[in-house]
Amino acid sequence: MSVLTYDPAVAAEALSATDARLAGLIQRVGPVRFGADRMRGDTFEVLLRAIVYQQLSGKAAGTIHRRVLALFGDNRASAAGLERLDDEQLRGAGLSANKLRAARDLAAHCLDGRLPGIRRLRRLDDETVIDRLTSVRGIGRWTAEMLLIFRLGRPDVWPVDDLGVRKGYAVIRGCEMPSPAVLADAGTVWAPWRSVAAWYCWRAAESPELASG
């Protein structure tokens, strides 16, 4: 689970002091609660789940993910364990050809050291983590940013491609939904606490009435 590298209460207080509109939302929503169930485990486990869940509904993806994990028996999912599974087993669990190739590439990156475990990732800066993760087939910047926020507990990640963050920002500001480029510039005012700002944007997207008071 995530071990935050900062105090979210301090972050929320700082954001409230710099932005009156956001301050109202923060007061109505309450403290940040980073649920990290989907980010449990080491790098391989987190990214394998991300690969399985891509472009599927939560229910269908969860079923396939459980079938894949069952192939590892009583052991945790691991790169070495995946190497011992044949393609037929993984396809039988529900992995598409593209996801099978992505899972194989993920295992290869973990086994040869190109992709470090969570403990080593903690020593790297945000952009280096993103570079390492996105070198794996099927892993994009958004997935890497979610790992930074929810698994590594980084304070200043601003996922401008996230639809929920874009919608939430528009709700808070009472404006049109910004493009990623516009949002990147607009979010600078919330540095160095943009992970927390993103969390409140998600809440605003889910419950717009909270942003208007």
| Annotated catalytic residue within 86, 105, 162, 185 | 162
DSSP string, 97-143: HHHHHHHHHHHHHHHTTSS--HHHHTTS-HHHHHHHHHTSTT--HHH
Q: What is the C-alpha separation between 33 and 150, in angstroms, rounded?
A: 10
96-104, long-range: CB within 8 Å, 24+ apart, which pairs? 98/138, 99/51, 99/52, 99/54, 99/138, 101/137, 101/138, 102/51, 102/136, 102/137, 102/138, 102/139, 103/48, 103/51
Residue 162 bears catalytic tag: yes
Residue 39 structure tokens: 């980010």
CA distance 208 to 170: 10
**SS3 (DSSP) at 161:** coil
Look at residue 194 and give its three-state secondary structure. helix
For 142, counting Cβ atoms within 10 Å of its Cβ (0-12 exposed, 13-18 middle, 19+ buried), the class is middle
Give Cα 187 to chain centroid, integer Å. 18
Show which residues are catalytic: 162
